[in-house]
């Protein structure tokens, strides 16, 4: 962890306090908010693990709720989420034609078509394996361990696939 180690790398778990976590996050909270948020989460997980396994009775100084949320502005207030624009329904046919016209070695074009036809997340599409496809039932069964909800999900496949 290039951000955390310079500040807390040599410290004992029991010596890491709120001031140490602030020292890690302050330089990056405004300019690299997403990175800072992830660094904070990882520090929290490491401290939780250590406190549990070492039987240390101490509050987690990297916890957001009830601790750092009183010090730092919420990440969404520092760097608001900006969503990508969607393709208008009227242009979808044109976009799909352009994707089909791509070189047959263009895996990204296949992925985009697959995502458009199944309405899945890109991570689900990238992880798809052929054994998840039932050609007879024309369904794609995504295993629970790859679903955000943690539950198996069946996707009906269009005649195009």
Q: Where are the alpha helices (DSSP H) in the chain?
A: 5-8, 18-25, 33-53, 75-78, 92-100, 107-118, 122-127
> Are 107 and 137 members of one domain?
yes
> Are 51 and 103 members of one domain?
no
> Are 52 and 93 members of one domain?
no
Residue 50 is part of which domain span?
5-78
> Are 94 and 126 members of one domain?
yes
The predicted model gives 129-149 an average pLDDT of 93
User: Would you place residue 135 in the very low, low, confident or very high pLDDT band (cuts 50, 70, 90)?
Assistant: very high
**pTM assigned to the model:** 0.57
User: Would you place residue 158 in the very low, low, confident or very high pLDDT band (cuts 50, 70, 90)?
Assistant: confident
Q: Is residue 161 part of a domain?
A: no
- Domain harbouring 45, CATH code: 1.10.150.130
Using CA atoms in the order 38, 39, 43, 48, what is the torsion angle rounded to 10 degrees? Answer: 0
Last residue in a domain, options 27, 44, 78: 78
> Are 69 and 125 members of one domain?
no
User: Would you place residue 63 in the very low, low, confident or very high pLDDT band (cuts 50, 70, 90)?
Assistant: very high
> Are 22 and 57 members of one domain?
yes
> Are 70 and 97 members of one domain?
no
Is the pLDDT at 84 greater than 90? The verdict is no
Last residue in a domain, options 78, 109, 127: 78
The structural domain count of the chain equals 2
User: Would you place residue 47 in the very low, low, confident or very high pLDDT band (cuts 50, 70, 90)?
Assistant: very high
User: Would you place residue 1 in the very low, low, confident or very high pLDDT band (cuts 50, 70, 90)?
Assistant: low
Q: Nearest-CA neighbor of 132 among 143, 145, 120?
A: 143
Say how many Å lie between the first and final Cα of the chain, rounded: 43
Q: Is residue 55 part of a domain?
A: yes
pLDDT value of residue 161: 58
User: Would you place residue 129 in the very low, low, confident or very high pLDDT band (cuts 50, 70, 90)?
Assistant: very high
> Are 118 and 139 members of one domain?
yes
Is the pLDDT at 148 greater than 90? The verdict is no
Q: Is residue 52 part of a domain?
A: yes
What distance in Å separates the CA atoms of residue 128 and residue 132, rounded to the nearest whole number? 7
Q: Which residue has the higher pLDDT, 6 or 80?
A: 6
pLDDT value of residue 46: 94
pLDDT in tens, 14-46: 999 999 999 999 999 999 999 999 999 999 999
Q: Which residue has the higher pLDDT, 110 or 1?
A: 110
Asked whether 109 and 102 are in contact (CB, 8 A), the reply is yes
Q: Please enumerate, as own/partner, the contacts of 59-66 that have beta carbons within 8 Å and a separation of 24 or more.
A: 61/16, 61/17, 61/18, 61/20, 61/21, 62/16, 62/21, 64/40
């Amino acid at each position: 962890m290039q951000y955390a180690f310079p500040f807390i790398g040599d410290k004992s778990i029991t010596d890491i306090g709120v001031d140490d976590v602030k020292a890690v996050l302050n330089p990056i909270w405004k300019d690299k908010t997403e990175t800072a948020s992830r660094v904070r989460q990882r520090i929290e997980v490491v401290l939780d693990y250590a406190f549990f396994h070492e039987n240390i009775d101490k509050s987690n100084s990297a916890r957001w709720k009830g601790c750092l949320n009183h010090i730092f502005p919420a990440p969404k207030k520092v760097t608001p989420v900006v969503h990508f624009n969607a393709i208008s329904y009227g242009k979808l046919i044109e976009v799909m034609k352009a994707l089909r016209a791509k070189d047959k070695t263009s895996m990204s074009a296949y992925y985009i078509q697959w995502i458009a036809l199944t309405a899945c997340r890109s991570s689900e599409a990238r992880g798809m394996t052929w054994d998840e496809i039932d050609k007879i039932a024309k369904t794609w069964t995504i295993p629970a361990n790859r679903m955000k909800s943690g539950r198996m999900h069946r996707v009906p496949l269009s005649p195009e696939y």
